[in-house]
Amino acid sequence: MSFTPDIQAFCCHYTSQQTIAEGREGLKNDGLPDSVNLNRLVCTGKLQVSSLLKAFENGADGVYVAGCPADECHNMKGSRRAAKRVLAVKKALKELGVEPERVEMYHLQRGFHPEFIEAAQEMDKRIKDLGPCSLKGEDK
């Protein structure tokens, strides 16, 4: 059975500059999977654990965060804070009996670079392999 996951990506202003320049169509041509929905933030340090959990509540099969390199965040510690919150969500998913790899943190270079698309492709493959998220309760 084919499965098109719902993947929510939270990207900071700097790692997702490419998205503004190219738009959805341009990114698609670069290889951005249809399953990935981009949510832009001023800084990933702004993200709360509850925002990531809310994405799962809203039906996401996978969630990832793309922030600046850990030691080169535009806002000093923003992406490091985000990484800690992703870890907290991994722990929460584990507590709920769900694969913690459904949520991930990526530290990416700012601006235009292939890693932005590669992260999306990696998550797309990972979530397709895992199948639908059991938090949707659809298998009950």
Partner 1 sequence: MIIAERKPVDEILGMVKNAERILVLGCRGCVTVCSAGGEREVEILASLIRLGMKKQGRDVEVIEGSLVRQCDKEYIDAIDQWQGRYDIIISTACGVGVNFIANQRPTDKVYPALNTSFLGGSPEQGVWTEQCAGCGNCILHLTGGLCPVARCAKSLLNGPCGGSVDGKCEINPQVECVWQLIHDRLGRLDNQDMMNEIMPIRDWSTAGHGGPRKVLRDDLTI
Closer CB to partner 1, 53 or 73, in the complex: 53
- As measured in angstroms, the least distance from the Cβ of 91 to partner 1 is 10
CA 71 – CA 100 distance, rounded (Å):
25
CB 85 → partner 1: shortest distance, Å? 10
With respect to partner 1, which residue has the nearer C-beta, 1 or 137? Answer: 137
C-beta separation of 42 from 12 below 8 A: yes
For 21, counting Cβ atoms within 10 Å of its Cβ (0-12 exposed, 13-18 middle, 19+ buried), the class is exposed
| Binding region for partner 1 (CB under 8 A) | 48-50, 53-54, 56-57, 92, 95-98, 134-137, 140
Shortest gap between Cβ of 95 and partner 1 (angstroms)? 4
Strands (DSSP E) contained in the chain are 7-12, 36-41, 62-67, 103-107
What's 110's DSSP letter?
A: S
Q: Smaller CB distance to partner 1: residue 1 or 97?
A: 97
- Cα(115)–Cα(18) distance, rounded to whole angstroms? 11
Residue placing its CB nearer to partner 1 in the complex, 83 or 108:
83
Q: Smaller CB distance to partner 1: residue 93 or 123?
A: 93
User: Shortest distance, CB of residue 82 to partner 1, whole angstroms?
Assistant: 15
